[in-house]
Amino acid sequence: MSSPVHSFTYLRPSALGAVDGSPSLGLQTCGGLGSRGLAPFPRFFSGFLTAPEAAAGGLLAVADVAAARYYQPMRPGSLDPVVTGNGDRLRFESFSACCGVHARLDVLPAGIDGEMFGTGTTNVDVNAPLREALARVGGADPLHLAVGPDDVTVTTFDGPVVEKKVPLPERWLRGFAEVQVISAGFDLRAEVGAGEAVRFLRALPRGSRQALWAVPAGRSLRLTARPVPGAVCLPGPDRLQALTRLLRHALALRIYGPAVQARSTAVSSAWEVELPGMRLTLTLSPDPARGFSGEGAVLTGLAAHTSGADADLISALLAWEPRVEIGELAARSGLDTERVRAALVRLGTSGRIGYDVAEAAYYHRELPYDTGSVERMNPRLRDAHALVAAGAVTLTGGGEHASVRSGDRTYGLRLAGDGSCTCQWWAEYRGGRGPCKHLLATQIVRGRAGADAGGGAIPGTANGGPTATEAQEANR
């Protein structure tokens, strides 16, 4: 199936020039949504970067990932990075074409000295001449940065523009949703200083696709071939190559991942290099041949009976804050924290929510392209709803077991804990790539049964919370 074509339209190419004798980086923007609504060429920031050489390297690292395909590398990617203005910081993000690496450069308040003109998300043009110019940026002079054109108000838009037409893989979009759910389960596992960070990253084996494991050892890290408690998975060391641009500027290396045991299989992880006033984070899928788009981490949240209505309510409360706190959203919406999390998962399927492992908090973005319907982007969820509509689910054993009729077969399910199923999908992945369609269908039926038993309360209002309309009015 062919991918939809997405058009990027810029007033002019992004370029590195000079203003009053100082280097000036003008990043051109292409359509975006912010606190002031839709804009064809939004302007987010104008000012100086306090660590210009590190910032140039960080932008190049994000562009490197956007242009890379770590699996089947003969087919390069071509998507422009996304930038989000969150009030006090800028976040530059990209996905590799194979969807297995997510890169994010956070330019923090300490890294910028200038004026934020607005909040929102847009694509930025990173072209070949700009990449060559950024590679030559030194640290002696201040670097002026403008995100968005400075003369939109006097531009007629009748003149020549820069257009790029590229295939937009749906799996790349699904990756944004999966990464925020997966990384929300990470904890900080190790932190090392600049010297050890450089030594460790330079010593990584090249050309290996097997999963290795980084283990804290005093003030350093060591690699092992097998997992041990406290280790962080490194699936495909070559995928950290983008970090090598920044080794001379690194202040520390922090690694994040889920809890693992001695027999754990490969899992995702996040690798963060601290820079002066910035952070660059690479999040890796569990295998170079495995993109985030098929991980299925979003499916349980999407199957929640109230997630659709709750997402409408939570959406009205998002306000481009640098940190989106679960507890604060729960208090303002009147929902419990589990329902807030499920609502954020649903919002994440349209790219509206990201997760920052360094701050253990979510953040708001609006992807500048159509992400499509939730069910179209998640076939297992669509199939689960079809099973429910066909009456294929039967709960037994007081709701602890179930049987699901699918085609000419009937599958048995155990619902305790994370659940299990007798289907081939479960036998192959054991829940490692999310629930199968039979478990999802059962979760949907159980959720509806629980809602009926509770009297069918209107989501978001049963415990005094505002409606979505009321929340929108309060948030203006």
Instruction: Give the CATH number, domain containing residue 197.
Output: 3.10.150
> How many structural domains compose the chain?
3
Q: Residue 364 falls within a domain, yes or no?
A: no
Q: What is the pLDDT of residues 288-326, one digit of tens each?
A: 988 898 888 899 888 888 888 999 999 999 988 888 989
Structure tokens at 295: 């991980």
- Mean of pLDDT over the chain: 86
Using a pLDDT cut of 70, give the percent of the chain over it.
89
Instruction: Indicate if 56 and 154 belong to the same structural domain.
Output: yes
Residues 262, 224 share a domain? yes
Residues 182 and 257 in one domain: yes
For residues 107 and 233, membership in a common domain is answered with no
pLDDT at 152 over 50: no
Residue 80 within any structural domain of the chain: yes
**Domain end call among 110, 143, 169:** 169
**Would you say residue 244 lies in a domain?**
yes
pLDDT at 77 over 70: no
Kindly report, residue by residue over 380-411, the tens digit of the pLDDT.
999 999 999 999 999 998 888 999 999 999 99
Same domain, yes or no: 147 and 32: yes
Supply φ then ψ for residue 5, to 5 degrees.
-95, 130
Q: Do 193 and 83 share a structural domain?
A: no
pLDDT more than 90, % of the chain: 56
Q: Which domain holds residue 441?
A: 299-348+378-453
Please indicate, yes or no, if residue 368 is contained in any of the structural domains: no
Last residue of one domain, picked from the residues 109, 144, 169? 169
Residue 356 in domain: no
Q: Looking at the structure, do residues 405 and 423 belong to the same domain, yes or no?
A: yes
Return the higher-pLDDT residue of 449 and 346. Answer: 346
**Among candidates 230, 210, 234, 214, which has minimal Cα distance to 222?**
214
- Return all residues near 288 (Cβ < 8 A) that are at least 6 apart: 70, 71, 98, 100, 209, 235, 236, 238, 239
In a domain, 390, yes or no: yes
Whole-angstrom CA distances from 13 to 29, 132, 250 are 10, 14, 30
Last residue of a domain, one of 169, 190, 208: 169
Domain match, 195 and 313 both: no
Model pLDDT, residue 26:
93
Residue 105's SS3 state is strand
CA–CA distance from 230 to each of 20, 186, 195, 262 (Å)? Answer: 52, 12, 22, 10
- Residue 240: pLDDT band (50, 70, 90) is very high
Query: 161 with 202, same domain?
Result: no
Residues 141 and 240 both lie in one domain: no
Is 62 within a domain?
yes
Q: What is the pLDDT of residue 3?
A: 65
The residue count of the chain comes to 476
Kindly tell me if the per-residue pLDDT of 125 is higher than 80. Answer: yes
Question: What pTM did the predictor assign?
Answer: 0.89
Give backbone dihedrals phi and psi of 383, rounded to 5 degrees, phi first.
Answer: -65, -35
My answer on whether 200 and 134 are in the same domain is: no
The pLDDT assigned to 474 comes to: 44
Closest CA to 87 of 118, 42, 133, 46: 118
Asked whether residue 148 is assigned to any structural domain, the reply reads: yes
- The structure tokens listed for 361 are 């908090």
In terms of domains, do 15 and 133 share one?
Answer: yes
